[in-house]
Chains A and B, each alone.
Chain A
Amino acid sequence: MDDEDALMQRAAVGDTQAFDALVQVYQAPLLRFALRSTGNPEAASDAVQEAFLRLWRGRIGYTPRGCLRAYLFRILRSVCLDSLRAARPEEPLEDGAGAASDPADLALVSGLADAVRLAVAALPEAQRSVFLLSHYEGLSYTEIAEVLDCPVGTVASRKHQATETLRRKLYSWRDS
């Protein structure tokens, strides 16, 4: 059992200090993921707060089946998807909608960071989540498979597709 699982076991019996320590450990990676997923700082903070609340409410029945980090990202992704669906009910998330920017604006931006942000936002949701979790948060393919509830091979294939799409778009942006 690792440190975080030990903290969670203590939180499960009502130890709020242990829960605060978990919030301290995980708030930054969760906020980064939520912010990059939603493109909205307020929505990201709300989503992370909701993810921690759900963890707290479910603490009594918590059993360490896998990795706590993956479990938290799984809750957070679900909250982010709900929030994106509520914000844009008419747009299917699979088509790269969701992040708050219009992917068509890629040609208009001048900075690399904005180009990356728009190119990532244009990825289909499943590929985007895999890329964000792997590249920015350093989750292993096994952990990502747990977050997305899919086979490890699917994670590898989505990561490859996402990188290939980003390569095409970013090279095209750079050369234009």
Chain B
Amino acid sequence: MTCEIVLPQLEALLDGELTPEDAAEAERHLEVCAACAAARADYVEVRRMADAWTVAVPDIRGRVTAAVDADERNALLTEMQRLRLEMQSLREEVAALRRQLSPRLEAPWTPPARRDYRTLEDDPWNLIRS
């Protein structure tokens, strides 16, 4: 391995991301190349320096739970609203249908006029005569 190959792989080597074969080859190069060994020491130092930046984080479980509950409530309310609108529209459809049908349903039944009974069971002689 040459410096051009090893240098860009130093981070991956330190992170344990190289294959065992590549790592072993890189290590062999580092044993004989002072410049690459110095670069690796620099990268280790950068990691040590980066560790100085620590952050304290709060416990937000309560607010996440509250947000999830509120979200669920909102989702249910939206679904209820949708169903309510659907029911309203269904009710209107039923009312319109009832209005359409009611004159016929409520009118008294009257038999059709005699001339509509033009079948053989009705008075065949009359049919022939006419």
Q: Nearest A residue to B47 by beta-carbon distance?
A: A135
Mark each residue of chain A from 115 to 146: 1 if its CB lies under 8 Å from any CB of chain B, else 0: 11100100000000000001110001100000
Taking beta carbons and an 8 Å cutoff, which residues of A are in contact with B?
16, 19-20, 23-24, 27-28, 31-32, 35-36, 41, 44-45, 48-49, 52-53, 56-57, 111-113, 115-117, 120, 134-136, 140-141, 156-157, 159-160, 163, 166-167, 170-171
Q: Is B111 an interface residue (CB 8 A)?
A: no
Docked-complex contact B57 and A32, CB < 8 angstroms: yes
* Shortest Cβ distance from residue B119 to the other chain A in the assembled complex, whole angstroms: 64
Question: Given B11, B65, B67, which contacts A160 in the complex, CB threshold below 8 Å?
Answer: B11
What count of chain B residues pass the 8 Å CB interface test?
29
Q: Is the contact region of chain A dominated by helix, strand, or loop, or is it mixed?
A: helix
Q: Is A166's CB under 8 angstroms from B46's CB?
A: yes
Q: Which of A27, A116, A167 contacts B61 (CB 8 A)?
A: A27
Closest to B10 in A: A160
Query: What is the minimal beta-carbon distance from B115 to any residue of chain A, in angstroms?
Result: 67
**Does B71 make an interface contact (CB < 8 A)?**
yes
Residue on A with the closest CB to B72? A56
In Å, the complex CA distance between A171 and B48 comes to: 12
